[in-house]
Amino acid sequence: MNCSGLPPPCLSDQLVSPGCVCAVPYRGTLFFRSPSFSDLSNGSYWGQLETGIRAKFRSLSVPVDSVALHDPSVNSVNNLQLALEVFPSGKTQFSEQDISDIGFILSNQTYKPPSVFGPYYFLGQPYSFANVVLIPSKSKANNRLPLIVGASVGGAVLVAIVLALVTIVARRKKRPKQNEERSQSFVSWDMKSTSGSSVPQLRGARTFNFDELRKITSNFSEANDIGNGGYGKVYRGTLPSGQLVAVKRCQQGSLQGSLEFRTEIELLSRVHHKNVVSLVGFCLDQAEQILVYEYVPNGTLKESLTGKSGVRLDWRRRLRVLLGAAKGIAYLHELADPPIVHRDIKSSNVLLDERLNAKVSDFGLSKPLGEDGRGQVTTQVKGTMGYLDPEYYMTQQLTDKSDVYSFGVLMLEMATARKPLERGRYIVREMKVALDRTKDLYGLHDLLDPVLGSSPSALAGLEQYVDLALRCVEEAGADRPSMGEVVGEIERVLKMAGGPGPESASNSMSYASRTPRHPYGGDSPFDHSNSGLPSARVEPK
């Protein structure tokens, strides 16, 4: 503590920071699984760690004054644990955004500790965003209470007035822009529908009524239920023409709102690529929100990694699937007009058809980039934790490189068959810690999916594959390759592995009749109130 004399008297719930300032710290616990030292009394370790954490926060513009570590101990599973306190800079309390940023940096392991500490994970404590005035803990501070109350109330009123004025002005400025965007939309939403719903008029996308879909799914029978998620359920159906379709029915209270529903219809109606799932039609009848897609029989990539779909992919087939997915994403980035950022690339959004070709799906969170050539757009952060681009999370600047980051995580997931974020372990961090380029297969034997085998001959090209994946998950988007470059690199790795060409369909018939079931774990948000982790699906209000 850098106090020249006695520490200042602090209000209740406040502590004196190492910088001798009273503030409400954010608390949590750091767990290190394999430190290379045992002397817990050596304060130089903690000082080095404090300095590094503080520097990382400041480099990412998080308002942190100081960091304090204390109470080092070894728990029952031989993990080194440290109590952490993070103090705000220039104010007495963190904002909700500050806490979210801190939790993301530590939970997503953006901060890299000195190598002597080894891999780690972080559990945060709930942080109280109090609106009440704190009571001084020292009696001699009582004479300051009226001033504190007056300043707090006056400040709150002033802030409320300013926010109200800013909101009014922003809405007035935004309204003409919104009207212009609506008028320029390639979808015409017919507000005079007999059903009372807003119905888009689209080329190539059929409008179904509810009775038609009820009939082709046998009244949405359980026998035709092929999957579910936060949006509702997916059913298999057969059109009168004999075409098999997947019917995605959003349920009341669904995580997919009207905006996501409309976005998916608009985008899928104008993108056509063999590695992007096709939209057959939709239904807005009887207040329903239903999407009808081409039927993709072999489930999701997520299901195949755990065997729940009955489809097992060897090394070469995984490369071929990733190549197809990369081509689909590259098409969105480079050939769609305007370019489209998917924003939710993950294993549960890559489907496998009867020939085990990849099809990118679920465009509810997708975002067209601006047509002004900037290649980026400022927008609320949305996506799935574990796959989410840290740069996008911190800056809210969305670019096509955000999809590249997510794809890099997907590549690591494909090689390990591990969830990106599980029990405090982040696959990107785990891979970087275990990596040893002096060894065969980079020394990653313990991380790789056992199904793939462990011999260099069975995993030809793995080193180049891992190098590419780690380039994709560089912290700065400018350091990541484009999806077009990723396609070229995967093609080279596939050639090294001696894999079949992208159009090969050997052994496809043995997979076509299998019925995929639900993915492992699901995609619903998980509670993070006591963990310091953001929710699985990041969608700020």
Q: What are phi and psi of 536, to 5 degrees?
A: -60, -35
Query: Which residues on neighbouring strands pair with residue 367, listed in sequence order?
Result: 341
d(CA 403, CA 481): 11
d(CA 23, CA 67): 12
Q: Do residues 7 and 14 touch, judged by C-beta distance below 8 A?
A: no
The residue ranges of DSSP E strands in 379-446, in sequence order, are 383-384, 397-399, 421-422, 425-426
As a three-state string, the secondary structure of 255-315 is CCCHHHHHHHHHHHCCCCCCCECCEEEEECHHHCCEEEEECCCCCEHHHHHHCCCCCCCCH
Which among 65, 98, 101, 344 is annotated as catalytic? 344
Is 337 a known active-site residue? Answer: no
> Do strands 376-378 and 290-294 pair parallel, antiparallel, or not at all (unpaired)?
unpaired
Q: What are phi and psi of 275, to 5 degrees?
A: -105, 20
Q: Where is 199: in which H helix or E strand?
A: strand 199-201
Query: Buried b vs exposed e over 91-130: b needs ≥16 C-beta within 10 Å?
Result: eebbeeebbbbbbbbbbbbbbebeeebebbbbbbbebeee
The token pair that represents 371 in the structure block: 């047509």
Q: What are phi and psi of 211, to 5 degrees?
A: -65, -35
Query: Buried b vs exposed e over 180-210: b needs ≥16 C-beta within 10 Å?
Result: eeeeeeebebeeeeeeebebbebeebebbeb
248 assigned to a ligand binding site: yes
Q: Do residues 440 and 456 touch, judged by C-beta distance below 8 A?
A: yes
> Do strands 367-368 and 358-360 pair parallel, antiparallel, or not at all (unpaired)?
unpaired
What would you report as the CA-atom Rg of the chain, rounded to the nearest whole angstrom?
26
Q: Which residues participate in the annotated binding site for ATP?
A: 248
* Residues identified as active-site: 344
